[in-house]
Structure 1
Amino acid sequence: MTDAKPPKPATKGGLNTEIQSRIGHQLRAMYDDVVRQGVPDRFAELIRQLDSQDAAARVAEGSKKDGRD
């Protein structure tokens, strides 16, 4: 005889723990693949441009508040 426990029954309309665990492992594997790919150079460049525009806008807004306009 084995000591293996049967999977817990699913709650009404839910999934049992074994199925939830398998789904979790597969999602983690897929997510890890996406993370390893990194950000494409074009996206990184666009983010840098947006950040510099945002910083410039904050500096301009700060100078208006200080009366340096």
Structure 2
Amino acid sequence: MLALAHIKEDKPHIQITKYLKVSRTSVNKWVSVFLEEGLAGLQEKPRSGRPAFLTPKQREQLY
């Protein structure tokens, strides 16, 4: 959302990438997703892959 705020202020993508320390591809992707799906599209989505090794309770104990 911070990248979108900078875009709204007409800052160049290259400046945004340096400020946020992300690739230009990421900024472009976020903008595209926002234009297609709105803010809901920027929410964290479930990821595929190996299930977590620790249980939620064990994770809490680490933090």
* TM-score w.r.t. length of structure 1: 0.25
Larger radius of gyration: 1
Which structure has more relative contact order (CA 8 Å, sep 6+)? It is 2
